[in-house]
């Protein structure tokens, strides 16, 4: 039945027919693949500030989320904050974990690999001597990040690593963080 054949049969919760339609559309018009994502951040006091993700552009359109998403940040008491929200370096780990996971799930779906469960733990090492400028040989950022995935999927044991590489090999945040991004910052008076 034509309608049934055209109907979406999601794999891993991903509408693979739409994924392949997107790939075809981008092949035909590569410029629709260009996206711009944005947040606006407002400082409150001390270590407390809040970003809002409202709109983005892509596929030649200006697009909005159904509601603005508010993302809070704070620091724990030992780092002189009020501990009302995750801190920036924890948010960074979330960005990485969520992106590798989604990238893995989408690319597995495109290959017909059914994934039943994904759980991961991300841990990063930070030496505050960098932030505090106490030792020029110590960087400000994470010295290293370790991730441990637990995955349940319909593949042999020896293909489990390949599923993970579907995530790390396609993830925008993984690439950004592993290889670095040019960042340009300008300032004006409020």
Query: Binders of a second copy among 1-60, rule CB under 8 A?
Result: 10, 12-15, 18-19, 22-23, 26-27, 30, 33-49, 51, 53, 56, 58-59
Does residue 79 sit in helix, strand or coil? helix
Site string for a second copy, 82-101 (x = CB under 8 A): -x-xxxxxxxxxxxxxxxxx
Buried b (16+ CB within 10 A) or exposed e, 100-139: bbbbbbbbbbbeebebeebebebebeeeeebeeeeeeeee
For the bound state, the minimum distance from the C-beta of residue 5 to a second copy, rounded and expressed in Å, comes to 20
For the bound state, the minimum distance from the C-beta of residue 78 to a second copy, rounded and expressed in Å, comes to 6
Any contact of residue 144 with a second copy (CB under 8 A)?
yes
CA distance 180 to 142: 13
- Strand 61-73 and strand 48-58: pairing? antiparallel
For the bound state, the minimum distance from the C-beta of residue 3 to a second copy, rounded and expressed in Å, comes to 21
Q: What angle do CA 71, 175, 112 make, to 5 degrees?
A: 95
For the bound state, the minimum distance from the C-beta of residue 28 to a second copy, rounded and expressed in Å, comes to 11
Q: Please say which residue, 1 or 182, places its beta carbon nearer to a second copy.
A: 182
Any contact of residue 158 with a second copy (CB under 8 A)?
no
Any contact of residue 161 with a second copy (CB under 8 A)?
yes
Q: Which residues pair with 69 in a beta bridge?
A: 53
Does residue 54 sit in helix, strand or coil? strand
Token pair of 144, please? 């290293």
Site string for a second copy, 98-137 (x = CB under 8 A): xxxxxx-xx--------xxxxxxxxxxxxxxxxxxxxx--
Q: Please say which residue, 3 or 187, places its beta carbon nearer to a second copy.
A: 187
Q: Please say which residue, 3 or 189, places its beta carbon nearer to a second copy.
A: 189
Q: Which of 59, 65, 68, 71 has its CA nearest to residue 25?
A: 59
Contacts with a second copy: how many residues (CB under 8 A)?
A: 129
DSSP 157: G
């Amino acid at each position: 039945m034509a309608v049934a054949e055209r109907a979406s049969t999601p794999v891993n919760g991903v509408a693979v027919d739409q994924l392949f339609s997107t790939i075809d559309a981008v092949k035909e018009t590569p410029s629709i693949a260009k996206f711009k994502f944005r947040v606006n951040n407002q400082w409150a006091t001390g270590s407390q500030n809040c970003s809002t993700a409202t709109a983005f552009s892509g596929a030649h359109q200006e697009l909005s989320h159904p509601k603005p998403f508010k993302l809070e940040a704070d620091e724990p008491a030992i780092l002189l904050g009020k501990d009302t929200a995750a801190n920036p370096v924890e948010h960074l780990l979330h960005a990485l974990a969520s992106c590798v996971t989604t990238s893995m799930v989408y690319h597995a779906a495109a290959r017909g690999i059914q994934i039943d469960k994904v759980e991961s733990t991300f841990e990063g090492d930070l030496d505050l001597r960098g932030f505090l400028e106490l030792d020029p040989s110590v960087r400000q950022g994470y010295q290293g990040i370790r991730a441990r995935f637990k995955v349940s999927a319909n593949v042999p044991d020896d293909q489990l690593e390949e599923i993970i590489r579907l995530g790390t090999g396609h993830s925008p945040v993984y690439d950004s963080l592993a290889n670095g991004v040019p960042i340009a910052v300008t300032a004006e008076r409020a």
